[in-house]
Structure 1
């Protein structure tokens, strides 16, 4: 029987709606104000696709929405869409490595306040090798303080000699840029720039790993660490984040983990008190720690790590949120290597009546059937609460179905995935596949200090700009899900969601009001 056009369009609409029925933004009917705000944002996105991304920008030969982040970052910041999203309540950061969450310029500024912090190089710095020699930072005990007679850049400098950071900066050779040259050199070693972001996967991972090597020498100095954590909380809240679950690598500090947790706890209390005095108590629910160690450790070392994690959970039950192993999945040991120890960890928790969920990195790879790709199977079989990255999950329809049925959320880090060469742009990212298949998702920044995607606004922008389907309502559902899938206790989670709903309502109302 022939269809007329009206009947055809009815069937077409029904098919599209059925296809999108698993998306979170189809799970409820939006309010009138939400629908109007969503329409405004969609129209703005379409307009800026022409007026901003269709225009010429110096140094950016072919700009487009969702393009390579490091190249397009300055363009993004000029858009009205970015300004709107910067005010959006974004829920929780569920995937961020604490050592990479504070702006590198601010970290260096903090370092200059501490005479104990020193710097050295393994070679004499020259104009030809400056960009290839990494600074090494280290706090020294007062008895070991140095008073070098030569500058870090002096021809008579002996490689390996520790120089106070402030002295090194003030005496940096004018031919290499003077103090500003020192800043550029040090900050460049702690971040990834646009040209490096275009490197092959192996080289970008080498650069990425080296940024941690450099910054750790500064960050893991306890007096500075406290100010560092405070700044992470402050900038996160300013970006609309109300709850955090941060990963800390305890591998190198296992013998003194208690001191680091105490510092984290005290800073959090101080920060909450400051917000309360400002009448902003509901803007920050709190922060917890996902205990992490590295994927190159031995099985015996993993046993020691989870025993340490249990001890910390007993002393700081409100802080320890979960357990993870981190590091490049393509080159380090797979989860199956650690499965026996992890099963012992799980059994020990049951014996003690504890709950320290696994929250594993898995599938952060382009591989298909590789050990890194197979980590997804082991993460799910081991009972992971969430999956970090899960980039290769879309290759496994049964695993996507399992995540949907078991409500396993994927911590997707769009900008990180693009910079680390898993995808060339947001248009190629598998995120829409996850969303369209009803897999719960939360957006996360991963290592914002290295990438320059501080907070969550940039990641939300990239996702919105690169899709014709996802709108403001869809972003709101992702923010809701980040809180729903947190490890907060039931009462705290309800409070967090209630506070978020109030802020979300004001946010969408403000968009409509500004466009009347």
Structure 2
């Protein structure tokens, strides 16, 4: 054979192989993309136009971060990037988006840090140091067990007390990586905040204003439904009256009723009774009785049961099997499980028990990726995973959100919902901050409006509505809000000038 003919045939053969290769490559990428959360959604013409704008601003932020990783906000600690997040075009877009429901947040951290701090200007609030710990409480006349001083007077003596109080209400520091070097260190500081805040917000007038504001902040962030976890702490009056757990639930319901009267397009809120997991056997049985009593008095307000507190220092679910099994058929379960970096411990094995106990959702599920069989069961049983990106980073479970295990859950279309956990203590409010981190840091550069729409749908799909009428109302209301969001966005003159498009609005 002539040498030249040989090389021609060789080149032709390689060309055929390369054509097949690029085709296979393209098909493989498309197949991967087809599995991502939200990929099955078909956008309308109007949504496609909005999506075009979203893709543009997301790509700009992503590419800026790709060129210099310091500019990629999810890769940096949130305390250092909060101001930049708030100036992000993507974040501002997400703020306007109807986000459905918030399904994982705790009772003593529902509001913004600013509102929480402003509560310290209420009348009759006293401060003291007891055994080295700072305490706040409302009194008509302070008790003698501590050298209480009226906070108003303390401010006159020492104006710097405000900075001190702010530091006791938040985990925010200038150098979080240096301050919080381990999960144990940050959890110690975390628990100290709860101890300071609880007596402040459990004064009955403050308690009611606090919960109303929590609902209001969600509403302002375009969230229309809430399921929150709580302990039902003792709520007190200045005259010494103390409300028990059932009465405290009643206070919540009264505030919720008032809020819904003021905001008819807010769907509502439900309560997940979530006492501490560091409990002995007798205490655990008391939990059971409380659940049964709450279910009897407020069946539509009680969504279910959980156990909270740091999993490493609390007792595992397997210690409470008898008590939990006694509640089957009475309430749903929403167990915190696998909030850890460890593998092969009681902490990550809480996932085993949560699934076997038929939990409706899993709180955090950070370690779930290490358990393939459990992952399979989560998908088969359609158990939602409550992912809290900022919480996981602040509490040092993951430094760079590009390495978060929820990326796998999202890319494999697991039933993920994005929540905010304890927004008071890391300077956020509403859901938009965590949704931003999920959209920019936990999903591909190419995820778009479909992903955000699916997150909203998931949040309602995995909510514990009382009946089909309530569920249908929630979805119907959200769909109206979504359509209005799309139309409002299209009617924005700045957008039309920017894209130079014409859209027929119907």
Tell me whether the two structures share a fold, i.e. TM-score over 0.5: yes
> Is the contact made by 2:99 and 2:456 (CA closer than 8 Å) also made in structure 1?
yes
SS of the residue corresponding to residue 105 of structure 2 reads: coil
Question: Equivalents in 2 of 1:409, 1:106: separation in Å?
Answer: 31
Measure how far apart 1:337 and its partner are.
1.0
Question: Equivalents in 1 of 2:27, 2:98: separation in Å?
Answer: 33
Give 1:262's match in structure 2, choosing from 250, 259, 265.
Answer: 250
TM-score (norm 2): 0.87
SS of the residue corresponding to residue 494 of structure 1 reads: helix
Question: Equivalents in 1 of 2:372, 2:47: separation in Å?
Answer: 33
> Is the contact made by 1:303 and 1:341 (CA closer than 8 Å) also made in structure 2?
yes
> Is the contact made by 2:275 and 2:308 (CA closer than 8 Å) also made in structure 1?
yes
Q: Which residue number in structure 2 is paired with residue 480 of structure 1?
A: 457
Measure how far apart 1:17 and its partner are.
2.8
Give 2:483's match in structure 1, choosing from 505, 513, 516.
Answer: 505
> Is the contact made by 1:404 and 1:438 (CA closer than 8 Å) also made in structure 2?
no
Measure how far apart 1:169 and its partner are.
2.2
Q: Which residue number in structure 2 is paired with residue 272 of structure 1?
A: 260
Measure how far apart 1:49 and its partner are.
3.8
Find out whether 1:373 has 2:351 as its counterpart: no
Question: Equivalents in 2 of 1:318, 1:81: separation in Å?
Answer: 37
Q: Which residue number in structure 2 is paired with residue 39 of structure 1?
A: 52
> Is the contact made by 2:112 and 2:428 (CA closer than 8 Å) also made in structure 1?
no
Measure how far apart 1:345 and its partner are.
2.5
Question: Equivalents in 1 of 2:269, 2:472: separation in Å?
Answer: 16
Measure how far apart 1:252 and its partner are.
6.3
> Is the contact made by 1:40 and 1:512 (CA closer than 8 Å) also made in structure 2?
no
Measure how far apart 1:185 and its partner are.
0.9
Q: Which residue number in structure 2 is paired with residue 437 of structure 1?
A: 412
> What whole-Å deviation, never above 9, does each CA across 1:81-139 have from its counterpart, x for those lacking one?
21111111111000000110112332232232231x3210147xxxxxxxxx6521123
Aligned pair in 2 of structure 1 residues 395, 11: CA closer, same or farther (>3 Å)? Answer: same
Q: Which residue number in structure 2 is paired with residue 64 of structure 1?
A: 72
> What whole-Å deviation, never above 9, does each CA across 1:325-352 have from its counterpart, x for those lacking one?
0011122111111112211222xxx4xx
> Is the contact made by 2:117 and 2:169 (CA closer than 8 Å) also made in structure 1?
no
Q: For residues 231-250 of structure 1, what are the structure 2 equivalents within 5 Å?
A: 231-250=213-232
> Is the contact made by 1:400 and 1:437 (CA closer than 8 Å) also made in structure 2?
no
Find out whether 1:471 has 2:454 as its counterpart: no
Q: Which residue number in structure 1 is paired with residue 126 of structure 2?
A: 118
TM-score (norm 1): 0.86
Q: Which residue number in structure 2 is paired with residue 197 of structure 1?
A: 176
Q: Which residue number in structure 1 is paired with residue 317 of structure 2?
A: 335
Q: Which residue number in structure 2 is paired with residue 491 of structure 1?
A: 469
Find out whether 1:74 has 2:52 as its counterpart: no
Over the aligned positions, Cα root-mean-square deviation in angstroms equals 2.3
SS of the residue corresponding to residue 509 of structure 1 reads: helix
Q: Which residue number in structure 2 is paired with residue 170 of structure 1?
A: 156
> What whole-Å deviation, never above 9, does each CA across 1:23-64 have from its counterpart, x for those lacking one?
331223222222332232121122234568968xxxxx9332
Give 1 or 2 for the bigger CA radius of gyration. Answer: 2
Question: Equivalents in 1 of 2:343, 2:446: separation in Å?
Answer: 28
SS of the residue corresponding to residue 92 of structure 1 reads: strand
> What whole-Å deviation, never above 9, does each CA across 1:169-188 have from its counterpart, x for those lacking one?
2322xxxxx1xx22211121
Question: Equivalents in 2 of 1:396, 1:469: separation in Å?
Answer: 28
Question: Equivalents in 2 of 1:23, 1:53: separation in Å?
Answer: 22
Measure how far apart 1:8 and its partner are.
3.5
Measure how far apart 1:513 and its partner are.
4.2
